[in-house]
Amino acid sequence: MLDYINFFLSAPKEYCVYSAWMLYAFWELYKVVPSIEINSELLDKMCRYYEFWEDTHRLKNGLFWSIDGYDAMEFSISGTPDKKHRIKGVRPTLNSYMCADAFAISEFAKIVGDLEISQKYLQKHEFLKKEINEKLWKDGFYRAFHYETIEELEALDTSNTSLVREEIGYIPWMFGIAPKEYNGVFDLLLDENVFACEYGITTADKSHPDFLYESTHECLWNGYVWPFATSQTLSALIYTIKNIKI
């Protein structure tokens, strides 16, 4: 695992194209296998990896933009509004991953003994946690807000966009980001009018008019059940039941 981490952290520009919660996953592993050596060189690589995403995907408002395809969730309802081309969005995906990764770096920095870095990344974590809950939670669910231009993403007008509920709205619970009072949305997983279907959990709200819209693209996240999304949602549910917080 350490070789795997070092490989991906060695050149983030080349290897880190798709969004992921890699550093937080490494932290979860370390809690089980604390014999893994954490040193200043590895910590520096983690910081450079995080800074790469900041340099390429952070907006002036402090949130991160991504495209559904590079979240491995292409041709969604919110991210492909005309059903033909994908547009950038401020999404629960990358923002939650960066929030979790900042927490992981803060914890690894404590192990190394670099309290300055630890505090710096803890502040990044707390900022994103606050912004996700204040900006991405709307009308009882975490939403993805997509716009054609960076300027629109910067302004983040959450009143003038599609309000589709998508399964990615459960991702903040994977990392203890969501407050306890939001937990009622898990009832929607059993609602046959929203996410429940015969074969699992749909990736989009069944009641939305664009649910299962027609497309020749091979990867549709407009309602079809995907194991990746299902694993994220079930992980979020498990963490919520266990009341795991970071």
At 118-173, the pLDDT tens digits run 999 999 999 999 999 999 999 999 999 999 999 999 999 877 655 899 999 999 99
47-77 confidence digits (pLDDT tens): 999 999 999 999 999 999 999 999 999 999 9
State the pLDDT at residue 244.
Answer: 56
* Contact in structure between 61 and 156 (CB atoms under 8 Å): yes
Mean pLDDT for 86-105 is 97
pLDDT, one tens digit per residue, over 217-246 is 889 999 999 999 999 999 999 999 987 555
Q: Which of 205, 129, 139, 229 is nearest to 172 (CA)?
A: 129
Find out whether 237 and 173 touch, Cβ atoms under 8 Å: yes
pLDDT over 90 at 208, yes or no: yes
User: Which candidate, 86, 246, 47, 78, places its Cα nearest to that of 161?
Assistant: 78
Read off the pLDDT band of 4 (50, 70, 90).
Answer: confident
CA atoms within 13 A on the CB side of 110: 9
Q: What is the reported pLDDT for 11?
A: 81
Q: What integer pLDDT is reported at residue 13 of this predicted model? A: 78
